[in-house]
Structure formats: structure tokens, C-alpha cells
Structure 1
Amino acid sequence: MRIYISADMEGITGLVDAADVQPGGRDYERGRQMMAEDVNAAVRGAIAAGATDIVVNDAHGPMRNLVPEALHPQARLIRGKPKHMGMLEGLTPEHDAMICVGYHSRAGTLGVLSHSFMGHEIEDIWLDGRPVGEIGLAHATAATLGVPLVALTGDDSACAETAAWDDSVTTVAVKRAHDRFAAELRPAAEAHRAIEEAVITGLSAGKRKAPTPTSDSATLTVRWQSASVASTLLGIPGVTSVDSRTIETHGQLTSLYRLFGIWMRVAASLTNQPPYC
């Protein structure tokens, strides 16, 4: 059984603030350690469920957060950037299941460190008219490849967002959001046991199921904080304007996911916004 793990950082056990998840932050080194512990709990669960091949994609920020030596020895690590598929780099139809560790809720929700990919630079995203964030877009793209998302960890807001998207996904709330930078934390040892057990449950034959088929063509719509970003992106063939700050395009979802990564790189070149201001 081949398992793919996408590891973000905002939804990791114990982390609540930008200083926990940004390089140079006061508690970033501790955050890296906590990230490795959550990921390793997921790896242990996958092995217990019968996984024979496990790849972990470091999917947060610079994508060099996980210290390779801290990762479970039975998992391989995809590290660094740029990555053509960003948070889903390395995911292929050959994988039997996907697990998301440390994910967070989308922009506009009252979740810990909530945002959609680029801090406040992206105000909203819609997939075929449905509001979506990193969770929904990862789920839908994996489904297009035929890979089910079977387990996800994060705060209670991320878990609720996942359940609204697909209630068959096994979720683990490692903290309960009090506000965007405050949470009630689950004890680390308890959270790690829960992650391991959730992965075992999610990968069990009775729980794992083929994803709902997706159409060959999807519509991706993004509303930016800056009209300058939207205007510049209109220079890309196939991108059209909805209004002065909102653009959209159509295509096969895996291609749209890669294209969206290009949009973000253009936006980053035009703006210099810290991600959680």
C-alpha cells in the first residue's frame, strides 16, 4: 500500500502563532520539532495499517521545515521549492491514499492561523462556485487523480471544514480554536496517539473508498486583495476577469492546481505582504 502525506504547519499540535511557523520566528525551531512529531505519528499509523511505501511532502511556506533526520526512517521526504504541484508535489495515481497533517481552515473562518495559501493576499477561492481553501482544493485534486483523502489533522475548524467537504474523511482535532491566534491545546502525547489511531482507521479497508469522480473540466475563481495582481494575471491565456479583483479560468483540475501555483508566484512578485498580518 502506497501512502502520500502532505504536511502543513499551521494545524500542528501546540502551534498558534506566526512566530511558531515562520523561519526566524521566536518559536519556529520548536514548531519544526512539533511538526515532525505529528507527521511521525501519521507515519506510524500508516505502517500499522499495512503501508509499504510512504512519501511525505513538506507543504508549508519554504517547504524546508521538516528536518530530514527527524523524520521516521520508513518515510521519504520531498523538500524544498519550487515545486510544480506545491502542497501536492509527488502525488500520483499510483498512491492508494492521501493523508493531510497540520492543515488549517480557509480564509475568513475563525480558525487557528486561517488563510488560503497566501495570508491575506487571497481573500476567497471558489471551485465550481463552491467556496474552497487548501483542504477542499487538495481533496478535489487528489480525487481527480483517483486518490482518496482518508485522514486529516488540524484544529477543530479545519476538521469541520473537511467534514463539510467530505464526511467520510477521518479527522483529528489537535487543538480547539479560540481565535485566529489562540487555541485550547490537546496534550501532545494524546494528540499523537489520536493521529496514529485516525490514520489506522482511515486506511482500514472498510473506511477507504474510491473518491467521487470529478468532471474533466473545472472552474477556479480567485479574489485577490490587490487589483494589481488580478490585472497582471489577465496576461495569462485563458484567465478572464470577473471584477477588478477577481479572476477565473477553466480546465482539468490537476492542471488548474499547477496553474494556481504560477498565479501565486506572480502575486508574490507584486506584493511583499507578511502572511499573517
Structure 2
Amino acid sequence: MRVYISADMEGVTGLVDADDVQPGGRDYERGRLMMAEDVNAAVRGALAAGATDITVNDAHGPMRNLRPEALHPAARLIRGRPKTMGMLEGLVPEHDALVCVGYHSRAGALGVLSHSFMGHEIEDMWLDGRPVGEIGLAHATAAAVGVPMAVLTGDDAACAETAEWDAAVTTVAVKYARDRFAADLRPAEEARTAIEEGVAAGLSAGRATAVTAADTSTLTVRWQSASVASTLLGIPGVTSVDARTVRAEGGLPALYRLFGVWMRVAGSLTNQHPYC
């Protein structure tokens, strides 16, 4: 069994604040260690379920958060950026399941460190008219590749958002949101045991079910800045909804890759820290 793990950071055990997850933050180095422990728990769970090939993609921010020497030796690591497929770099049809570790809820949700890809620069996103964030877009893109999302770990808001997309996905809540920068934390060892057991169960026979995807989807994004929206109109196929909102149609995963280009354009036009 080939397992792909996409590892974000905001939904990792014990982390609640920007200083926990951003390079230069006073607790970032500790956050990196906590991230590695959650990922390693997922790797152990995958091995217990019979995985023979495990790929981990560092999917957070600079995508250099996981230290290779801290990762379980049974897993290979994809690290650094830019990546054509960003948070899903290296996901191929030959993978049997997608496991998302440390994920968070979408922009506007009352979840720990909630946002959609770019802090407050992206105000809202919709996929085929449905509100979407990193969880839903990962689920839909993986489905288009032909890989089911089997397990997701994060706070309770992320788990609830996942259940809205696909109730068959096994979810593991490692903390419970009290507000955007506050949470009721599960003890670290308890949370990692839950991750290991949840991944093992979610990857067991019959739990990671086959998925299908639409041939054509519409992705709509409302930006904080009208400048970003205006600039994106120079990309063929991008159309305007209003002064701050653009959309494009196409098949996934190509649409996911196009969205990555949008984010690089937005990043070149703005210089604002996320979570503010």
C-alpha cells in the first residue's frame, strides 16, 4: 500500500498562535518539533495498516518546516518550494490513500488559526458554488487524481469541515477551538496515540473508499485586495465576478495548479503577514 501524507502545521498538536507556526516566531522551533511528532505518529499508523511506501509532503508556509533527520526513517520527504502542486506535490494515481496531518478550517470559520492558503489575503473561496478551503480543495483534487482522502488530523473545526465534505474520512481532533488563537489541548502523548490509531484504522481495508470527481469545476476566489483580482485577469481563462473576486473553470487537478499560480501572483503584489 502506498500512502501519501500532506503535512500542514496550524492543526498540529499544541499549536495555537502565529508565533507557533511562522519562521522567526518565538515558539516556531518548538512548533517544528511538534509537527514532526504528529507526522511520525501518522507514519507509524500507516505502517501498522500495512503501508510499504510512504511519502510525506511538507505543505506549510515555506515548506521547509520538517527537518529530514526528525522524520520517521520509513518515510520519504518532499521539502521546499516552489512546487507545481503545492500542498499536494507528488500525489499520483498510484497512491492508495491521502492522509492530511495538521490541517485547519477555512477562512471565516471559528477554528484554530483558520484561513484559506494565504492568511487574510484570501477572504473567501468557492468550488462549484460551495464554500471551500484547504480541506475541501485537497479532497476534490485528490479525488480527481483518483486517490481517496482517508484520514485528517487537526482541531475539531477542521474535523467538522472534513465531515461536511466526506463523512467516510476518519478524523482525529488533537485540540478543540476556543477561539481563533486559543484551544483546549489534548495531552500530547494522548493526541499522538489517537493519530497513530486513527491512521491505522482509516487505512484499513474498506475504509478508504473510491472517489469520483466532476470533469469540469469552477473555482472562485475573493481577495482582500482589488489589485490582486485585477492583475489575475491577465491570465487566460480568468474572469471577473466583481472588483475583488475572480473565477476560472477547468478540470482538477489542473485547476489546483492554476490556483497555485494565482497565489504566487498575489504574493508578489502584497507584503502582509498572515493571521492579522
Normalising by the smaller structure, the TM-score range is: over 0.9
Residues 221-260 of structure 1: pairs in structure 2 closer than 5 A: 221-260=220-259
Aligned-pair RMSD on alpha carbons? 0.5
Residues 108-119 of structure 1: pairs in structure 2 closer than 5 A: 108-119=108-119
Mapped to 2, the partners of 1:145 and 1:265 lie a distance apart of: 23
C-alpha displacement of 1:141: 0.2
Amino acid corresponding to residue 153 of structure 2 in structure 1:
T
For the pair 1:146 / 2:146, whether they are aligned, the reply is: yes
Which whole-Å deviations, capped at 9, do the CAs of 1:217-263 have from their partners, x for residues lacking one? 11000000000000000000000000000000000110110010000
Residues 12-161 of structure 1: pairs in structure 2 closer than 5 A: 12-161=12-161
Percentage of pairs with the same residue: 81
Amino acid corresponding to residue 172 of structure 2 in structure 1:
V
SS at match of 1:241: strand
Runs of 4+ in structure 1 off by over 3 angstroms are: none
C-alpha displacement of 1:206: 2.4
Amino acid corresponding to residue 143 of structure 1 in structure 2:
A
C-alpha displacement of 1:207: 1.1
Mapped to 2, the partners of 1:171 and 1:214 lie a distance apart of: 21
SS at match of 1:253: coil
Equivalent residue number for residue 210 of structure 2: 210
Mapped to 2, the partners of 1:206 and 1:137 lie a distance apart of: 23
Equivalent residue number for residue 162 of structure 2: 162
Equivalent residue number for residue 193 of structure 2: 193
Amino acid corresponding to residue 175 of structure 1 in structure 2:
K
Mapped to 2, the partners of 1:275 and 1:208 lie a distance apart of: 34
Which whole-Å deviations, capped at 9, do the CAs of 1:87-120 have from their partners, x for residues lacking one? 0000000000000000000000000000000000
Equivalent residue number for residue 273 of structure 1: 272
Amino acid corresponding to residue 69 of structure 1 in structure 2:
E
C-alpha displacement of 1:179: 0.4
Amino acid corresponding to residue 156 of structure 1 in structure 2:
D
Structure 1 spans left out of the alignment, 5+ residues:
none
C-alpha displacement of 1:202: 0.6
Amino acid corresponding to residue 131 of structure 2 in structure 1:
P
Calculate the TM-score normalised by the size of structure 2. 0.99
Amino acid corresponding to residue 131 of structure 1 in structure 2:
P
Mapped to 1, the partners of 2:214 and 2:8 lie a distance apart of: 27
Mapped to 2, the partners of 1:132 and 1:176 lie a distance apart of: 21
Mapped to 1, the partners of 2:181 and 2:274 lie a distance apart of: 13
Which whole-Å deviations, capped at 9, do the CAs of 1:174-203 have from their partners, x for residues lacking one? 000000000000000000000001111111
Amino acid corresponding to residue 200 of structure 1 in structure 2:
A
SS at match of 2:120: coil
SS at match of 1:267: helix
C-alpha displacement of 1:208: 1.7
Mapped to 2, the partners of 1:148 and 1:121 lie a distance apart of: 29
SS at match of 2:119: coil
The aligned length equals 276
Structure 2 spans left out of the alignment, 5+ residues:
none
SS at match of 2:60: coil
Mapped to 2, the partners of 1:62 and 1:208 lie a distance apart of: 30
